[in-house]
Structure 1
Amino acid sequence: MRLDGVLFFPVTPFTPTGTVAEDVLAEHVKHGVSAGAGGVFVACGTGEFHALDVDEFSRAVTAAVEATAGRVPVFAGAGGPVPTAKRCARAAADAGADGLLLLPPYLVAGPPRGLVRYVTEVAGATELPLIVYQRNNAVFTPETAVEVASLPTVVGFKDGLGDVDLLQRIVLAVRSRVQRPIQFFNGLPTAELTVPAYRGIGVDLYSSAVFCFAPDISLGFYDAVQRGDSDLVQSLLTSFYRPLVELRDRVPGYAVALVKGAVRRGGLDVGGVRPPLVDPTEEHLDELERITAAGRALLA
């Protein structure tokens, strides 16, 4: 399975009583797929994987798979403690997901050998294709990246660390020593801001949280990158993505909460975020609306 296009990471909606709103999630996913997403990554970082129990996770994945109806691949998050990661992997397979995004293990920072064991154990819980996510306490060396990329079900490596020097060495090592295609992803928050840098080291795929609330801007940026319209790319980076990142960085957790608030402002009742995240202030959402309007004006 080879992914392409803008990758959509939907938020996980909650009802007023705090349960997962599967019907709203289905609507969110259907809208994203119809808008032109190349793949759906449900119950991952933007979808508050950290705040879901396994039953909620399973219901969210099922809702996304049914809403997508086979039009694009559906990948589901897995991660945390090894037993939880394995249960999520199996639940995703049972729900009909096409693959897994393996998030970092819980809290502790293990050595590279421990990370290889972690990936190996979770990959062994299901036959689903698996994308390994490097960020926070999950940092690979070129050698260990080659080792996990050599596992038969590993199909991708997503980077949310931002160490371009390390990632370049990982890309070179994997592409020269693993005898099958491995896809690399830019997984930094608001990844579009660093797309030009990542493309320079051969990493073209990226995740787009912006697609959740402004798919027109997300797709407009992607199209500009694909056709080499550097003027539009630079204009969107300057007038939309940079101000968005500066707003996002004011409050920890806004990479998720601000996106969810924007979806809610857009008319879909996705509820708020679960602790320890906090919902954005109305002033910050007003500011985001102005930033989004500026982005849309560039595409008009």
Structure 2
Amino acid sequence: MMTKTERIAPAGILGFPVAPFDRHDNLDVKALEKNIQFLIDEGLTSIFIGCGSGEFHALAPFEYQTMVETALAVSKGKVPVYTGVGGSITNALQLAQLSEKLGADGYLILPPYLIEPEQEGLYDYLSTIISSTELNAIVYKRDNCVLTLNTLQRLVEYNQLAGLKDGLGNMDLNIELTQTIGERLRWLNGMPMAEVTMPAYVNLGFTAYSSAISNYIPHISAMFYEALLNQNKALLNDLYRDVILPINRIRKQRKGYAVSLIKAGMEIVGLPVGTKVRPPLIPVEKEHYKELELILKTAFEKYPKQKPKRMEEAIHESN
């Protein structure tokens, strides 16, 4: 595990566990443990707990703390653990400080709720959170948190800032940021179904991405990323045609499927997290569930699971 003084955010495929709920709508800690252990066993480079796929918006404070404690207990220092922090500035600061107290490696700063701020307001919001602890901080650029080059240049003066995750998809802006800031930050692709866009991102210096499908078919994520780094175009085309694009088409059918489709996929492959999501998210409809079943059947038949390889190894081999 990286020490906090290295200030390097994780590379490779990042693990974002879900928040499993039982039939009484209580957090299912045992299911969460299995989710996290599965991601670690499958070679993902880090755990990001209590973020978007973990239904950050819907968690009670005690549930959030339980999820962080669970991630740290299961990981046992094998991989870095990052938390999601956000909401009001007071809430974000409390979560950042709690993350530090519990022993997390860093946190992902989620976009501020509702407000569409000016750049100076964003700078104040982010710099206050970043400087509040000694943990590594990653800024999530999307929605209400779109940074200009000038704002990011001011933020990188804080040693704690270790990375920027992009969920906006503005490639003009991405080029300006990456080519100006360079290796001072680690660049993370946080677009929905990031495998779809990763070929465009990797050439800009993005060496990490969050993969929704890694929660249920991490061997496909690993196979895809290794093929991308090694420029295996034939395999990439096959994976896009048979697995990635079909799943992405389902994901785009309904708002909120970015989370609920993950749980559906996990249930299909036998991971006991259930399919319950909290409002305003909706569960996957039966028709789409059946379509996902067929895609996953193809995925396991045509692309059998192999021994997982740490993403750092794949990146090293491609260089």
| TM-score for the superposition, normalised by structure 2 | 0.89
- Paired with 1:54 and 1:174, the residues of 2 have a C-alpha distance of 36
Residue 156 in 1 paired to residue 160 in 2?
Answer: no
Partner-residue secondary structure (3-state), 1:6: strand
Q: Which piece of structure 1 moves more, 289-298 or 65-74?
A: 289-298
> What is the Cα deviation at residue 54 of structure 1?
2.1
Q: 2:12–2:207: 8 Å Cα contact kept in structure 1?
A: no
Other-structure match for 1:134:
141
What SS does the corresponding residue of 2:280 show, helix, strand or coil? coil
Q: CA RMSD in A?
A: 1.4
Whether the aligned pair in 2 keeps the contact of 1:10 and 1:42 (CA below 8 Å) is yes
Deviates more, 1:130-139 or 1:224-233: 224-233
Look up the match of 2:247.
244
1:59 match: 66
Cα distance in 1 between the residues matched to 2:230 and 2:158 = 35
Moved more, 262-271 or 235-244: 262-271
1:277 aligns with 2:313: no
Which consecutive aligned stretches of 4+ in structure 1 deviate over 4 angstroms post-superposition? none
Q: CA deviation at 1:68?
A: 0.7
Alpha-carbon distance between aligned partners in 2 of 1:15 and 1:96, rounded to the nearest angstrom = 27
In structure 2, what is the Cα distance between the partners aligned to 1:162 and 1:298?
Answer: 31
> Of the candidates 146, 161, 173, which is equivalent to residue 166 of structure 1?
173
Higher relative CO (Cα under 8 Å, sequence separation at least 6) belongs to 2
Per-residue CA deviation, residues 218-270 of structure 1 (Å, 9 max, x unaligned), is: 11112212322121112212221111111101100101111112112322332
User: What is residue 267 of structure 2 aligned with on the other side?
Assistant: 264
The residue that corresponds to 1:228 in the other structure is: 231
Q: Is the 8 A contact 1:11 1:260 kept in 2?
A: yes
User: Which stretch shifts more, 185-194 or 280-289?
Assistant: 280-289
Distance, in Å, in 2 between the alignment partners of 1:297 and 1:113 is 52
SS in 2 for 1:41: strand
| Partner of residue 315, structure 2 | none
Q: CA deviation at 1:119?
A: 0.6
**What is the aligned-residue identity percentage?**
36
Q: Name the SS of the counterpart of 2:206 in structure 1.
A: coil
Alignment of 1:208-219 (within 5 A): 208-219=211-222
Which of 254, 257, 281 does residue 254 from structure 1 map onto? 257
Q: Aligned letter for 2:286?
A: E
1:144 aligns with 2:151: yes
Partner of 1:114 in structure 2?
A: 121
Give the TM-score of the pair, scaled to structure 1.
Answer: 0.95
Shift in Å, 1:297: 3.9
DSSP-derived class of the 1:119 partner:
helix
1-side partners of 2:43 and 2:24: how far apart? Answer: 32
The CA deviation string for residues 3-61 of structure 1, in whole angstroms up to 9 with x for no partner, is: 22221111111122112112211111011101111111111111111111222111101
Aligned: 1:286 with 2:293: no
Equivalent position of 2:130 in the other structure: 123
Say whether the 8 Å CA contact 1:43–1:61 is kept in structure 2. yes
Unmatched tracts of structure 1, length 5 or more: none
1:218 match: secondary structure: helix
**Contact 2:87/2:111 (CA < 8 Å) preserved in 1?**
yes
Deviations 1:143-165 (A, max 9, x none): 11111222121000000000111
Number of aligned residues: 296
Counterpart of 1:49? 56
Letter of the aligned partner of 2:267 in structure 1? R
Structure 2: state its 5+ residue gaps: 3-7, 305-319
**What is the SS of the residue equivalent to 2:24?**
coil
Q: Is the Cα–Cα contact under 8 Å of residues 7 and 206 in structure 1 kept in the other structure?
A: yes
Query: Does the 8 A contact of 1:149 with 1:156 survive in 2?
Result: no
